[in-house]
Structures are given as structure tokens and as C-alpha cells.
Structure 1
Amino acid sequence: MTARWPDPNRTTIGRYLASLDLRSMKSQTCYRQVLYGFQDVVERHSKLSQDVLVAWLRVSAECWAATTLLHRTRIIDRFLDHLLETGAIDRNPVTVLREACNIKQCMPVWRVLASRDPEKALAELRRPQPFGSVLGGVMAEHVLLMRNRGYKYSSQSERLLRFDHFLQLNPALQDQPIGVMLEHWTAKKATRNHAVECENLRRILTKVFSHRDPSIPPRRPDPRPQKEVVKHWRKPHIYSPADVRRMLDIARSYPSPRAPLRPLSIYAMLLLAYCAGLRRGELARLNLGDVDLQSDTIRFGKPSSSKPGFCHCPIA
């Protein structure tokens, strides 16, 4: 850590707070209290590291509730990012831990640091590196090859990544043949969807190694896992006019003594969904401003030419 921060006069914190342009006096007081307390802890350590973060969490836990403390770690996150950008510190310890655990967010790091055993929690938080197994290089090369050929190859890449993570979590399989790896991967779950996942993975891996060695014979796909899944798909049900009328009658007579408007609300929602084809989210986002009593219409969606969901529905 450089000598620019922590500074004894705390001018760095003052300039940072001024740059935020906090209009509420309460927010200014909260930010200043959090950052001053963090600097007090930093000054008692030789370098800005994981130990500083844990020490600050322990001290702050005596003053704030756990939820409040985790919420105020965001102030520390933004301040550390500012210090790193301005060159006041050499590294951000939260970012270092986040990259070591291979996660994208900072909050899980703070949660494990606030636990009783941070080291054990950090070990459990760590995620395998993408394509870090014994087959990772081959699979990553294949994904890059297919994308260079113009294929999106997103779902296939996800299947390969899941298998790669499984191999990293089971190092005893690293020296086994690919058939043994796939047998253990298949035995991990007994669901029908996982059987389809394994069949698709076998097909992709056959393609991977056939690209590297054209002498490998093609593998005939097994359609049985997919057929088994299709058998258990839910069949669509088309409501008849009599079914819709029955639902509307039940909605209008729905017993709700504590909320007398609820039956009419349910009735209106079902009517709009049936007549205008509104989705559940569109129904939930409707408000009074969408109702035009002058033209007897209801507007839903965003008023943009690129948003086909924007249209008018007559009330009457």
C-alpha cells in the first residue's frame, strides 16, 4: 500500500465525499462515520489486506445489526474502488478475494468474512475456474472454433462448463478415461433431464475429439432419454368459452370480506388477460395512469416504436 492513504488529516475521505454530492445531511453523516471508522481500523494494521476487512467487520458488528453492516459494506466497496482508480492504494483486497474465489459480486465475500470462520467460508465460496480441468483446454478450444465459424454455441458451452466444473470438483477422475468420467457424471443425478444432458454432452464431446482426430468414428445418438422427457411434458389446455365464463363467475363471487374490491380486481384481470392477451407481468404493471376514460382505452407497454407491446385496449 502506498503512503497516500490512509492520510492523517483524512483529506482523501473529504474529497471523496465532496465528489459524491450527497444532498442529504443524514447520508453525509452515515458515509463519514463508516469511512472514518474504516480508516481507524486500517491505521492499526501494516497493510490493507483481508485481516483489515475482518477486523473492521468485527468492530462494526458491535454497533450495527448484521443487515445494516452488510448494507454499509457497499460504501467501503465504492471507496476502495475510488482509491484504486486514483492510485491511493495498490490493490483492492475485496477485488483480490473476489477474483480468487472466481465470483463476480462483492457481497458474498463480505458475508463470508463476517462469518465465524472466514477461512473455511472462503474455501467453500471458491468456484472452479472456467475450463480448468484436464479436458478444459480441449473443450475451450472447441468452443472457440465453433464460435469462429459463426455459431453462437452458448448452450453447448454451458454443458461443457458444467462437466468441466464436475471434473474439477472430483480430482480422482482426472486420470480416468473419458467413458469413466461420463459414467460418474451420469450417476450424479437420476433425473430424466440430466439423462438428456448427458446424452447431449456425449454428442458434443464426440464432435470435439472428431475435430482433433478425424479417424474417430461418429457416434449414433440415443433418442431414448429425450423421448422419456417428452412423455412427461405437460400437455397444453385450451379453455373453452364455457370454462372462461365459469372462471369469471367464480372471480366475481370470490369470498373476500376484508378486501371487498378483490373479486372485481380478479374479474378485471382475467377479463383483460382473456380479451387483450395481456401477460401476468403486464397486468401487474398496470396503474391508473394507463386508463384513459375519455377514449375508454387502457394503455399497456412502453410508448416506443420498437416495443410491440404498446397498444390500446378498449374498456367497453
Structure 2
Amino acid sequence: MGVISNNKGVFYAIITAFLWGFLPIFLKVSLNELDSISIVWFRFTFAFTILFLFFLITDKKQLEIIKRPPLILIIAALALGVNYLGFMQGINYTTPSNAQIIMQTAPILLALVGVVFFKERLNKKQIIGFAIAGIGLFLFYRNQLQAFIQDADAFNTGFMWIELGAVMWVLYAALQKQLVQKHPAQLLNMVLYGIPAILYTPFVNFEAFATISITTWMILVFLGLNTLVAYGCLALAFKYTEAYKVSLIVTMNPIITLLAMAALAALNVSWIQTNSLSIYSILGAVLVIGGAITAVYFSKKNKKSTN
């Protein structure tokens, strides 16, 4: 059963990585007809509604958590809400490829949080991983900034939004790590989606939804399902296999984005902005991803999660 369980965990993690790999591309296209907040609101509302109906039908008692959610769950929900908006705004100002590479600072920061707050010990190989990722991020940022020299302000704005999203994701993940010890993961996800959905409602451009194309509606449904399925599979992946294996697989999702964007560039599509990476930018991207993977892989906290 151990091997079967492990294979299940790896399978679910691959699904999450695959969905997150294509996510920024569809987010970028959806911005052609909707603003960032409206898109983020739809994703949260769609995912919350599905989970709410699920618990309403299967176990109404679980919905009691909505009346009095734990304080750290509220904070985690706020953090996730800012994470979604930060990543969305970052994609708005730059490209999906850039957003995915920059976002890899999140697992690095999460590892550092483990050291500072959870008293996890850093080993030499992890430190090397951090150093590699830091050098890679500097190299990638420097060369991509030169590539966007005519619109450097937009690139820097996108960079800052994504970094804000990364920091907020770390806060969410650190709190979620504590919450899953007491509550079912999907029940937590329902609240995590519901609170941002409510908070973003006053800022949504509802009139825009009446004028968008069928294609954009299909993209929105995909984005909602992506939110629901990716995080659901992530929780199952942690349930069936070790956390470090899940993190390793998910950390490689930018490779999917880079390959997809390269294919779109080769096809010379007109419906999304593609950017060609210089050899130095590619080297920086490899170092960022490789450094993040090294830091995660050599973590001493390679224990199976209790999700």
C-alpha cells in the first residue's frame, strides 16, 4: 500500500503542477476583456460555491465553521486573497513566463519561514540552493529588465506585485500548515475562497460580465475549475506522499509555462504577448528553479504531511 499511496500523491502533485503551469497563460488572455479584481473574484466565488454546495449536500454540520472561523483562518484567507490579486496584477504588467519565474521566490521564502518560526535547521545544501536561486533571480531580473527597457516601469511594477503575492502565499501556507492539523483541507479551502470573494465583491465590474465573449466565459470557467481542482489535488498530494516530494513537483510548474509560451511564440500567435528569453535570462530562470528545488529537496523536514 505504501507504494500505491506514494504514486497517488505524485499523481495528484503532477496534476497541480500541470494546472498551475497553464494558469498564467489563461489569466493573461482573460485580461483582454476583464480587470484583475473581477477575474480574481470570479475564481474565488466559483470555487467557494462548488465546495459550499458539496458540504451542504454531504455534511451540513461542517458549515458551522462559516459562523465562527478561527482567526488564523481569516488571516490566511486575506493573505490568499492578496496573493491571487498580486499574481494577477503581475501578469497584467508583464508576461506569464516572467510571472512564473519571479513567483519561485515563494517556496524559498517558505523554507526561510520554517527556519525562523518553526525552528527548522538549515543545512549547507539548502544554503547553496538559496544562493543559487538568489543569483538566478538577479540575473533573470537584470536581463528581463533590459528586454523591457522601453517599458521598464511596467516590468518593475509587475515584479513588485508578484513579490507581494509571493510573500502573501508564504503567510497563507504557514498558517495553513497549522490549520490542517485540526480541520479537513477542503473545508478550509471553502472558507479561504469565500472570504476574499466577499471582500472583492464591491470592486467587481459586473457590467463587464454581460459583454464578454463566449470564449472568455469558457476561460473563466477553466480558471474557476483550476482553482478548485489544483488546490484540491494539492491537499490530496500532501495526504498520500511526503511534503518535500510534492513541493519538488509543484516547484517545476514554470517549466510547463516556459515550454507552452515557447510553443506559442513559434506558432506566432496574436492573441497573447510572447517574449523571447535571452540566453542569460534562460540561465537565470534555470538557476532560480534549480535553486528552489535544491532548497526544498534538502530540507530536513521531509516528513509526511497530515493533511
Same structural fold, with TM-score higher than 0.5 when normalized by the shorter chain: no
Q: TM tier, shorter chain?
A: under 0.3
Tell me which of the two structures has the higher relative contact order, counting C-alpha pairs closer than 8 angstroms and 6 or more residues apart.
Answer: 2
Q: TM-score, normalised by structure 2?
A: 0.20
